[in-house]
Chain A
Amino acid sequence: GENVEQHPSTLSVQEGDSAVIKCTYSDSASNYFPWYKQELGKRPQLIIDIRSNVGEKKDQRIAVTLNKTAKHFSLHITETQPEDSAVYFCAALTGGTSYGKLTFGQGTILTVHP
């Protein structure tokens, strides 16, 4: 089955700095990679996703890159703000299915210091 590894487990940055979170996956048939943000006690919220037919996608301060050959993808947050502090999860769609069975990484606790 699919296995997703996420690093780092914790990340601390100063406000205004950039933050990068990396994930690797094992199933070469995976073709959809979402990122979720989860604040303490709240639901996971989709912040950006990428499909395997593109290498990069950007939405304001957030970008995701995908390297299918190396089977890794990364989340980039620029100009970080204290409200970006949360747990971030990457996920990969299990290959060979027509539905959204996701395998999640272990999560990264991002802390942005004012």
Chain B
Amino acid sequence: NAGVMQNPRHLVRRRGQEARLRCSPMKGHSHVYWYRQLPEEGLKFMVYLQKENIIDESGMPKERFSAEFPKEGPSILRIQQVVRGDSAAYFCASSSSSGSRYEQFFGPGTRLTVL
């Protein structure tokens, strides 16, 4: 029973480059959430997606950030033209559409470092 998978686990980018973070939800889960965790802080909601739909992106910065969850394949969080302030741990979580739909299971995170 594979849990939520994220890759890469660590990502180093130089300022101005693009970062692509991938998340595969748990088997049977169709809801994906992305959170950002700055050093020594709590997690901040970024975006909530279902297959092929962005439902709530109220926590996403207006520029440079985008997310998708295609019909096939993992969910992707994309950060264009990264800046040092983007350095953080990015976690995705998934939940089921049935049963306890609020209960979220987190992936191991991607730690992004911008040089």
Contact = CB atoms under 8 A, between A and B. Distances in A.
Interface stretch (B12-20, B72-80, B104-112): B104-112
Interface stretch (A58-66, A71-79, A99-107): A99-107
Contacts of B109: 43
B106 A99 contact: no
A46 B43 contact: no
Interface residues of B, number: 24
Contact of A99 (B41, B56, B105, B107): B56
A8 interface: no
Given A89-B42, A106-B42, A107-B42, A100 B104 contact: yes
Given A42-B108, A43-B107, A44-B91, A100 B43 contact: no
B102 interface: yes
Q: Is the interface of B mostly helix, strand, loop or mixed?
A: strand
Interface of B: 4, 31, 33, 35, 40-45, 48, 55-56, 91, 95, 101-109
Given A100-B101, A100-B104, 17 more contacts: A6-B42, A32-B102, A34-B102, A36-B106, A43-B4, A43-B106, A43-B108, A46-B103, A89-B42, A99-B31, A99-B48, A99-B101, A99-B102, A100-B33, A102-B43, A104-B43, A107-B40
B28 to A, nearest CB: 16
Interface of A: 6, 32, 34, 36, 42-46, 49, 89, 93, 97-107
25 contacts: A6-B42, A34-B102, A34-B103, A43-B4, A43-B91, A43-B106, A43-B107, A46-B104, A49-B102, A49-B103, A89-B43, A99-B48, A99-B55, A99-B95, A99-B101, A100-B33, A100-B102, A100-B103, A102-B33, A104-B43, A104-B44, A105-B42, A106-B41, A107-B41, A107-B42
A100 B40 CA distance: 23
Nearest to B41: A106
